[in-house]
Amino acid sequence: MIDLIEQKIIEAVRKLLTGRVNEILASLDYQVPFIEFTDYEGGNDVVPVINLSACERSEKERIIRQDAYSLSISFSLPEKNESEFLCYVYSLAVYKALGENLTLDGVADRAVATGKKYNKPKKPGCGEGWEAVISLRVTVEGMENR
């Protein structure tokens, strides 16, 4: 079976979220729902969506044969009093965990956060929730060099 780098990157990000990010959340004085990717439906956990796509490489990346990926992690939260605050907490925890593990446990050459965006409900009380979207750029040495 072929081990695709895209799968490795997504699994490494999942491990970062359910591992170190959850540890950071647990250390806070405020109770924050943990990140989970199982089929658990208890309602107390958050299941972020991870989207990965190849992105344009710089000239330097082409010369040294590095692949570049754009990755986003989206946290959707129901509309509650603390939802906006939780968006900021998840973002902070992801940035901190990624800063401690720039190679995603050796899967990537470098993974850096490139931005964060917070989306509030367009109309309060309509059932639409808050969303935090964290963008990453991941570079990996090209497959022909492995």
pLDDT in tens, 55-83: 777 787 677 778 889 999 999 998 888 99
| Domains of the chain: total | 1
pTM for the complete prediction?
A: 0.87
Calculate Rg over the CA atoms of the chain: 17
Check which CATH number belongs to the domain holding 33 and give it. Answer: 3.30.2000
Range of the domain at 140: 5-145
Q: What is the dihedral of CA 24, 101, 132, 76, to 10 degrees?
A: -70
pLDDT in tens, 21-45: 999 999 999 999 999 987 666 567 8
